[in-house]
Structure 1
Amino acid sequence: MRGDTDRTSESRSSRIEPGKTQYRLIEYVEDIERYSPGGYHPLKIGDYLNNGRYRLVDKLGYGGYSTIWLACDLQRARYVAVKVIAADASLNASEASLLCSLGNSPSRPGRETIPSLIEQFWAIGPNGKHRCLVTLPARMSLFDAKEASSFGLFQPKVAQSITAQLIRGVAFLHSEDIVHGDLHLGNILVQFPEAIDRLPPSELYERFGEPEPEAVVRIDGNTLSEGVPNNVYVPGWFGACSDDLILGEEKIIISDFGESFNPHNTLRLSSKTLPILQPPEARFCHRPLSFASDIWTLACTVWEIFGQRPLFEAFYPTADRVTAEQVEVIGILPLEWWNNWHRRLEWFNEEGELNLKPDSSRGQDGLRRTWEDRFNDCIQEPRADAGLETVTEEEKRAFETMLRSMLVFQPSERATAQQILHSEWMKGWGQPALEESRAQSTLSK
């Protein structure tokens, strides 16, 4: 067994829907049904790509349209990440074009958080022609780091540094007329330390565990089709628990630009990010989304970096429950939106006051959880329980001021990324923590 106990590669049986599932279920791997014409490229550890330049040494992850591999760049003697895109998605060159464009842009604060596209090439296989993108590898997402932790918290200085980096990255994207479109903890990755390149694969396996192949088995007992691999792999765990991540090793990159767009030439009316993070204008405004939509999700993500739990919470995050959470924390919606929210009276009276009736979805006695309540429940008390420093009153005030300026219902009234970059919190806490991290990183080389 490799990695932590939450990343078991044990195969388990499940109920099979007739006519749909062809293969025995394997947990924590890509959808095996997608190994078909137009789908994933079948690969295995040890395979070579791009005329022998890259040798696959482990699996980093997967998505609905790609698998991501850790590979040795045999020309440069370093590790890289190779994203192998499904054939039916490979004609869309938007992500590659965006990374190329950003890589050629002038160096400005935040540029360092955007992955550099080392190169792209094509791989041809039984399922079609696959675009492959090569970038520097990342060891884990912030989501994975928190999930692996008992407390689900980052060290205070680490949280400050990560937040500062993220704000700088979003400010850089917006200065390049790019809306990310899908900011959340799973799309913010922690880079490998540079020292990883000094480890040969054998030492990498000694430290993190060897890849474990899982046999692909058809339920009907027939042999596998040509485009289906004999084995698949659970992604390796190269990360650290959030509370074990130390200052100087928390350098981040922003990933997954599949939902990114330039609002000046692309009309985007709906948000594809996680329901609990979606900005209210995506539901009520019926106007194209723009930079302000990123600012809303950035604020929600920053809160999660600082705290144990999200600012807005809903067990079943329907549109109405998400709106109810937003109103409970921030206040009544703009009048036109308020009047168009037909289920508002299930939670509030016409003045926006919470109906004081028991509701198991919102804690004891259905009482309103204010910003202050949530700050204590999600940030201060969990930090105290974990033996970490709590947020000082001075920082708390600056932090709240910054986030509230980002969580304004009307998009036109929200702070811009540049304003956040020059906020009191960034000047007093975020930027100093980032500078301390860089000094620490320099000393450890």
Structure 2
Amino acid sequence: MFRWARRLSTMLPPRAPSLRGRPLLEATKKVEEENFPWYDENAYYPVRIGQVFESRYQVLTKLGYGTSATVWLARDSVENKYVAIKVCTSNYPSVPREKAAFQRLRSIRESSVVQKCWDNFVVRSTEGTVHECFVLQPLCPNLAHFGEHIAHRWEDLTSFRATARSIFQALKFLHTEAHLIHCDLRQENFLLSTTTDAVFRAMEEHEASEPSPWKVDGDRVVHTTPYAMIPDDVSGIVLTDFGEARPGDTSMAYYDDIQPFPYRAPEIIFSIPFSYSVDIWNAAVMLWHMFEREPLFHPYTSKGEEVDLFHLRQMVHVIGLPPSSLLERSADRDFIHQHYFDRNGQWIAIIPLDSTITLEVREQRLEGNEKAEFLRFMRRCLQWEPEKRATAAELCDDPWLNPE
């Protein structure tokens, strides 16, 4: 845990980075994003610490990386503040969606529960690839890191409730004011906000005094990410990463294959058009995973292969059989009736159901009324029929999230 008394009051002008003392990794060693099986060196822009974008944003240290981007802490010399810069991979399909989502979010009031985007620009690599860049509100490590290292795997029910309430408050804003469906809720997409810039100053000073290792391969460089710092002045939980977001206020019917595989809502498996309620299922299954310390659904073979049959069987165990009327709404209903459920909604798959597995059995951490209330709350979210799930606004007022 870090506590920094000084608040950043002035920003230094951009300065040339010092390469002295920066550990150099072997050129043959795979580093961070290079370990993705689909990695393409031309898809990622080779950001260098010290580099200045748009004559104002100087890169200070690496914050992280993913399948679609690398993220960097930078100093904005014009606005005199720290920012995060998300440098997207070239031609990644989620980039236009994220750009459209941020444009929509910037058109309405700012909210403390979703990440702010202050600017965007484009850079070109020496190979000619085009990379969209988003200038974002800088945030601290995600809920997965926080829960593991600070919240002690959510041992405290009060702390977990407050976290769950923040998650549904973010969804309430996203659904009712921004009219966006997030479509990709996972712990890694909820980050921590702070009341001061102290932790970012600490990151900058740490990179300057103990440079993170990097790899240089000709004109291409790959920096490593320093260990995450958790500030003492955490002020809230912020929803991020809108690369899968879709507008919810259009007449378009969405059938896309969205969401982390074990967090998928029934309508995604059944090829039924989805809307805001798909986020409610996703959030509930994610919260279960956080609190119970194991996923509610594990739809994989021993080799890690994804299997819809396993997923649907496990859903039936904890919420019962689906209404036949729901199955008839599926674009794949003939396939469903051949392999999973008959036309009356009865299970016909080759693997039988196990009647001993229920939601009550799966819940292992609570007892008595606390357990009953938690399961009641979960059942408001885990409904086969999307329209029967509670909305984010309704869940924000639920007694389980607001105990007396």
- The one-letter code of the counterpart of 1:326 is M
- 1:50 matched to which residue of 2? 54
Once the 2 structures are TM-superposed, how far is the Cα of residue 160 of structure 1 from its aligned partner? 1.6
Give me the whole-angstrom Cα distance separating, in 1, the residues matched to 2:297 and 2:41.
Answer: 37
Match of 1:256 among 227, 231, 241: 241
Contact between 1:71 and 1:82, CA under 8 Å: does it hold in 2? yes
User: Which residue of the other structure, out of 197, 204, 212, is the alignment partner of 2:206?
Assistant: 204
The answer as to whether partners of 2:317 and 2:355 remain within 8 angstroms in 1 is: no
Equivalences for residues 223-242 of structure 1 within 5 A:
224=218, 229=220, 231-240=221-230
Q: For 2:187 and 2:201, locate their aligned partners in 1 and report how far apart those are by CA, in whole Å.
A: 28
Work out whether 1:87 is the aligned partner of 2:75.
no
- State the distance in 2 between where 1:276 and 1:293 align: 13
Q: How far is the alpha carbon of 1:265 from its aligned partner?
A: 4.1
Aligned pair in 2 of structure 1 residues 335, 157: CA closer, same or farther (>3 Å)?
A: same
Distance 2:54 2:240 in 1: 23
Matched, 1:313 2:298: yes
Asked if residue 298 in structure 1 is aligned to residue 283 in structure 2, the reply is yes
Which residue does 1:399 correspond to in 2?
374
| 1:363 corresponds to | none
Long gaps (5+) in structure 1: 1-8, 13-22, 217-223, 358-365, 381-390, 430-445
**Comparing 297-306 with 179-188, which one deviates more in the overlay?**
297-306
- The equivalences for 1:359-370 within 5 A come to 368-370=356-358
With normalisation by structure 1, the TM-score equals 0.71
1:372 maps onto 2:374 in alignment: no
Q: Describe the superposition over 1:201-222 as per-residue Cα deviations: whole angstroms up to 9, x where unpaired.
A: 5533489x63211344xxxxxx
Map 1:58-137 onto structure 2 (within 5 A): 58-89=61-92, 92-106=95-109, 111-126=111-126, 127-137=128-138
> Could you tell me how far apart the structure 2 residues matched to 1:259 and 1:185 are?
15
Question: 1:393-432 maps to which residues of 2 (within 5 A)?
Answer: 393-428=368-403
Answer whether contact 1:145 1:239 (CA < 8 A) is retained. no
Q: In structure 2, do the counterparts of structure 1 residues 254 and 278 end up closer, same or farther at CA, with 3 Å as the change threshold? A: same
Instruction: Classify 1:192/1:24 alpha carbon distance in 2 versus 1 (closer, same or farther; 3 Å).
Output: farther
CA change 1:314–1:193 in 2 (3 A) is farther
CA shift for structure 1 position 297: 0.5
Change beyond 3 A, Cα 1:136–1:204: farther
What's the CA shift for 1:166?
A: 0.6
Letter of the structure 2 residue corresponding to residue 335 of structure 1: S
Matched, 1:152 2:150: no
2:222 partner SS: strand
- The answer on 1:171 being equivalent to 2:199 is no
Is contact 1:140–1:238 with CA below 8 Å preserved after alignment?
yes
1:103–1:158: structure 2 CA closer, same or farther, 3 Å change rule? Answer: farther
Percent identity between the two aligned chains: 22
Query: Could you tell me how far 1:47 is from its partner in structure 2?
Result: 1.2
Q: 3-state DSSP class of the match of 1:299? A: helix
Evaluate the alpha carbon distance shift between residue 41 and residue 170 of structure 1 in structure 2; reply closer, same or farther with a 3 A threshold: same
Given residue 34 of structure 1, which amino acid in structure 2 is its aligned partner? D
Following the alignment from structure 2 to structure 1, what is the Cα–Cα distance between the partners of residues 347 and 90? 53
2:258 aligned partner:
272
Seen in structure 2, the aligned counterparts of structure 1 residues 351 and 258 have a Cα distance that, compared at 3 Å, is closer
Contact kept? 2:340, 2:347, Cα under 8 Å: no
Structure 2: runs of 5+ lacking an equivalent: 1-22, 328-332
Question: 2:61·2:203 contact (CA, 8 Å) conserved in 1?
Answer: no
Match of 1:289 in 2: 274
- TM-score, normalised to structure 2, is 0.78
What is the DSSP-based 3-state SS (H/G/I as helix, E as strand, rest coil) of the residue aligned with 1:321? Answer: helix
Residue in 2 that maps onto 1:219 = none
- Does the Cα contact within 8 Å between 1:300 and 1:310 map onto a contact in 2? yes
> What is the aligned counterpart of 1:181 among 168, 178, 183?
183
2:121 corresponds to which letter in structure 1? F
- Pick aligned residue for 1:326 from 315, 322, 331: 315
